[in-house]
Amino acid sequence: MNLLLISLTPFIGAIFTAAISRLGRLHSAWAAVVVTSLALLLLLPLVPDVFAGQVLIQRFSWIPMAGLDVAFRLDGFALLFALLILGIGLLIVIYARYYLSERDDMGRFYAYLLLFMGSMLGIALSENIIQLLIFWEFTSLSSFLLISYWQHRQESRNGARMALAVTGAGGLALLGGFLLLGEIVGSYDLSVILASGDIIRADPLYRPMLILVLLGAFTKSAQFPFHFWLPNAMAAPTPVSAYLHSATMVKAGVFLLARLFPALSGTPEWFWLVSMTGLTTLLLAAYIALFKHDLKGLLAYSTISHLGLITLLFGIGTPLAAVAGVFHMINHAIFKASLFMAAGIIDHETGTRDMRRLSGLWMFMPYTASLAMVAAASMAGVPLFNGFLSKEMFFTETLLRTDEVWGWLLPAAATMAGIFAVAYSLRFVHNVFFNGMPVNLPKTPHEPPRWMKVPMEVLVALCLLVGIFPAITVEPILAVAAASVLQAPIPEHDLAIWHGFNPAVWMSMIALIGGALVYLNRRPLFRLHYQLISHLEFKKVYNYLLEQLFRFSVQVTKALNPNSLQRMVFVFIIFILVLGVSGFSGGEVLLTGHRELLPVDGVSLLVALVLMISAVGTVFLHKQRFVALILLGAVGLGISLIFIKFSAPDLALTQLSVEVVTIVLLLLALYFLPQHSPTESSKLRQYRDLMVALAVGGGVAVLAWAVLTRPYETIADYFLANSVTGGGGTNVVNVILVDFRGYDTLGEITVLALAGLGIYAMLDHLHLTGTSHDASGRFWDHDMHPVFMASFTRLLLPLALLVAIFILLRGHNLPGGGFIAGLITAVALIMQYLANGVTWTQSRLPANIHSIIGFGLLIAVSTGLASWLFDHPFLTSTFSHIHWPLVGEFELASAMAFDLGVYLVVVGATLLILINLGLVHSMTLLPKTKKHSRKWKH
Amino acid sequence: MEALISIVLGTLTACGVYLILRFRTFPVVLGLTFLSYAANLFLLVMGRLTIGKPPVITEGVTDYADPLPQALVLTAIVIGFAMTAFVIMLSLKAYAALGNDHVDGKHKL
């Protein structure tokens, strides 16, 4: 028994099918046949157990803390559904092979179809309802892909989006309902839920839960008023419609009603909500179906109507009604799939689906016509066909409440719907196959290829077999399925064609004769319909709502977004200022604390003064960008000195190397940008900004003063105490980075890698032209790579790399580590680029920079994963002391491997950023200099 | 010394704020760099000012600077570099696409 494998087979098969389609167009069709058959073969050995009355449950631990398991369940009803999904699926796969044209990508089609099949199987076989919901959403997503299969068509995209919006919204409601249900029962297991019907119905949360669950089921099964998505989903290729709207997608909703029937039904709320929705849908859709000129449109509304019928049966809520509901699910799946296939064949052979042009096809394709007529008769509920049996059971069930005042309403409405069902079935047959000659067909029709008819033949044969010999064909599976729906022994019922002259027979007779009369008088009815009612469309309401939503969001965006970065930044800063000021005001706390202050020494004062003068200088000279940049570099160096002064050697080293890289980067960028900023802001604006800047600066200074003069308690003692014993290193900062907070560091280097890749993507296809001269109008030096500098940096490279390795290795114990070593290496290599040119260096650097980044991340992650091998949590580090000859005792920590990963990512990302900008640079520079030198020669 | 550091912090922040309110991308990038200097320094001094006590465990020494802000700032410096790089590349891309380097993507007269 492996239910997980059965559900996963289509998913895995989808990947396989998509891959194999590269070898040949039809390979994917064969692959899909194999995959579907494989799932069926896996399922078949379990059939005897289920027929013996067992419920097979397979369980894997998922999130035990939340009480969630991945659990699958196979009982009679699940088996019935799985057989329908896979059986009809197999027929659809064969049919679609002949339906799709040369231009359609078969691999994509079958991959989507299998994804959808797997999701449906998941719904049918889920024991855990949260897991069921996940598969439920998967069906919404994969049906979106299927409906929009012809992506170039506007109507396909719109139809797919509408289906996703409606069923997706229903899925959200269902999630809410399931969470409430789980809350009420205390378990998400179907077995527990089905057994606690009484608790559920007595709970105060019953009503909201019921409404949410029903919203999910009704949207999926296209019940009024959510039915409008289904006709619009007809933009899908016909095999998709045949699958989605017969055995699968829309059946998921009624599947859910049936599945939760023992737990939720039996209350007035259930009766009124479910049966009224079902009744409205049944009547309305049967009526609309008659007036549709599109062949698939007619079938779409007929599908909605039949789903309404099934919903109504579950709403009525008697055990026998539930049996009839399950029975009609089977029958509808069989005849509707074959009718859609017929519609597909007609469309395929004639090039149109418009019934105003289609007539008299009997003479072109009598065989297909006969098959379609059998299926249509089944849809109409003609005796000897399977649809008749379940429909008669339905009629019988509507008569149960005739003793009440409004009790006659239900059978009357049911008969009315029956009349329309007969009428539209008659229209489908008479209009298309007889009724004179076809009008202006794009193609001359003829019978389709042999194997396109085989799936239809199978289904039509089933219609007849079930219709004539119900007791030996459908009864066994219906019995186990109905028993598992009811969670009780099934009531006495008799699947026979003739029960004597009871009211149900009279209702059937009225429906048949009435339907024929309606069809005969269709012309005045059509006129009336198109004058009065055809304007009422729910699609319009949906579109109107959608439009309003878009308009609202545009207005909100407009109100919040002034479309100006400057204004937004200004508002942001003012906001911070207000927050800061309000934090200071109020409360009688002194600004200055009691901490003992440090004396100022001369050197510090000097450094601080130089730093501040450079900073202010940068601001004053910011319009001369080059000068401002140089001054900024001075500020950065000042910051490094402050880091050294206040006992942070690691930070000083990092700041120093980052400063170099940043300045080089900004210089490179400045080459492409204007060399000056124009004066744009008015004096007033400048004063305003100055005031704001001084206020914020003053606030920060006051805040810093208030904090710095107060004593504090630190949590650092833990790190200081455990650094050597727990992390195996004496440099506490580095041990924190690679060990205590290694997970944070892993995130940070990932960000760095992503920033590098993002920049790479931005620079792709970037065309910029640099200036040919500097800010003061002098041309660039002709000698781009002075020999002296080039040879000197080449000599320097090994030395610099050696320093980097030294810094990397000692990082665990003395200032240094992966970040700093990476930056030093990057600086060393960038120096080569600067001195020797990009082409020279690029040809001598063997490695691909992207793979360095990837490799670094891989090392870091696998160091973390390695601790799993020893049953430790992710990124647990270990260390030991190794005695090396000559070197002496040497400490080896696993965190050092992590640091190596950090090192590689930093090197890779930094180089990626700078070199790619450098490449843009060299591409623009070369033609420029040539031009310039030519000019020079003249 | 505390007063001096506070003034330095205030100056860096004020310079940064003034620059990020400018019209063109390059000064704004410079302003962001100033702000990250200020933020890094501010974070470090939250561990209070300690002179000559680097957090490297040495025998016989019991008093160290707070290593936690240092570890925070170290990665912040590197991420800050990545951010600066990203923003400057974005401004290059915008300059190439829009033909000007105004922060709002258009010339305002």
User: What angle, rounded to 10 degrees, do the helices at A683-708 and B25-45 form?
Assistant: 10
* A515-531 confidence digits (pLDDT tens): 999 988 888 888 887 77
- Greater pLDDT, A503 or A638: A638
Q: How far apart are CA B45 and CA A861, in angstroms?
A: 32
SS3 call for A151: coil
Q: How far apart are CA A483 and CA A505, in angstroms?
A: 27
Contacts 24+ apart (CB under 8 A), A566-569: A566/B21, A566/B23, A566/B103, A566/B104, A569/B20, A569/B21
Quote the CA–CA distance of B12 and A934 in Å, as a whole number: 47
CA distances from B48 to A173, A594, A598, A698, B4 (A): 53, 13, 11, 19, 13
Closest in B6, B82, B89 to A763, CB measured: B89
Tally Cβ neighbours within 10 Å of residue A232.
22
> What is the Cα–Cα distance from A832 to B40, expressed in whole angstroms?
30
Q: How far is B5 from chain A (nearest CA, A)?
A: 8
Q: What is the ipTM of this complex?
A: 0.95
Distance CA A701, CA A332 (A): 77
Alpha-carbon gap, residue B15 to B10, rounded angstroms = 9
Q: Which of A573, A618, A641 to mutate to test the interface with B (most CBs of B within 10 A)?
A: A618
The answer to whether the beta carbons of residues A848 and A931 sit under 8 Å apart is no
Span of A323-327, A499-503, A896-900 with lowest mean pLDDT: A499-503
Q: Which tokens go with A790?
A: 């080039």
Say if CB B78 and CB A539 are below 8 A apart: no
Q: Is the predicted pLDDT of residue A889 greater than 80, yes or no? A: no
At residue A929, the pLDDT reads 44
Confidence band for B109, pLDDT divided at 50, 70 and 90: very low
pLDDT band of A314, cuts 50, 70, 90: very high
- CB contacts of B35 in chain A (<8 Å) are none
The single residue listed with the structure tokens 């400063």 is A659
In chain A, residues with a C-beta closer than 8 Å to the C-beta of B14 are 693-694, 696-698
Beta carbons of B96 and A765 less than 8 angstroms apart: no
For position A743, what pLDDT does the model report?
A: 86
- Structure tokens of A246? 């017969």
Separation between Cα atoms, residue A803 and residue A653, nearest integer Å = 12
pLDDT in tens, A826-849: 999 888 888 888 778 878 876 678
Inter-helix orientation angle A683-708/B2-20, to 10°: 150
Identify the weakest region by mean pLDDT among A493-507, A516-530, B9-23, B28-42.
A493-507
Minimal C-alpha gap between A299 and chain B (Å): 52
pLDDT digits (tens, 9 = 90+) for A432-458: 898 888 877 788 888 888 888 999 999
Domains by residue range for chain B, with CATH: 2-50+65-98 (1.10.287)
- For residue A876, what are the CA distances in angstroms to A230, A757, A881, A904, B68? 54, 29, 17, 21, 19
For residues A412 and A287, give the distance between their C-alpha atoms in angstroms, rounded to a whole number. Answer: 15
pLDDT band at A22 (very low <50, low <70, confident <90, very high): confident
Length of chain B: 109
B98 and A CB contact within 8 Å: no
Q: What is the mean pLDDT of chain A?
A: 87
Return the pLDDT at A936: 40
Length reported for chain A = 938
Mean pLDDT confidence for A597-613: 91
Contact B23, B103 (CB under 8 A): yes
Among chain B residues, CA nearest to A655: B77
Q: Is residue A660 within 8 angstroms of chain B, CB to CB? A: no
CA–CA distance, A415 with A283 (Å, rounded to integer):
10
How does pLDDT run across A209-263, given as a tens digit for each residue? 999 999 999 999 999 888 889 998 998 999 999 999 988 889 999 999 999 999 9
If you measure CA to CA, which chain B residue comes closest to A907?
A: B78
Cα–Cα distance measured from residue A325 to residue A792, given in angstroms and rounded to the nearest whole number:
88
* Confidence band, pLDDT 50/70/90 cuts, at residue A892: low
CB contact under 8 A, B82 and A823: no
Interfacial A residues in 118-157 facing B (CB < 8 Å) = none
Band the pLDDT of A817: cuts 50, 70, 90: confident
| Chain B hits for A599, Cβ within 8 Å | 1
CA A687 to chain CA mean position, Å = 50
pLDDT digits (tens, 9 = 90+) for A68-112: 889 999 999 999 999 999 999 999 999 999 998 888 889 999 999
pTM above 0.80?
no
What sign results for the dihedral spanned by CA atoms A631, A632, A633, A635? positive
Whether residues B67 and A716 touch (CB distance < 8 A) is answered with yes
Cis previous bond, A678, omega within 30: no
pLDDT of A933 above 70: no
Q: Is the pLDDT of residue A494 over 80?
A: no
CA torsion through residues A150, A152, A156, A158, sign: positive
Give the whole-angstrom CA distance, residue A757 versus residue A695: 38
Please list, in sequence order, all residues whose beta carbon lies within 8 angstroms of the beta carbon of residue A228, skipping any fewer than 6 positions away: A162, A166, A537, A538, A539, A541, A542
What is residue A131's predicted lDDT score, i.e. its pLDDT? 93
CB contact (8 A) between residue A736 and residue B25: no
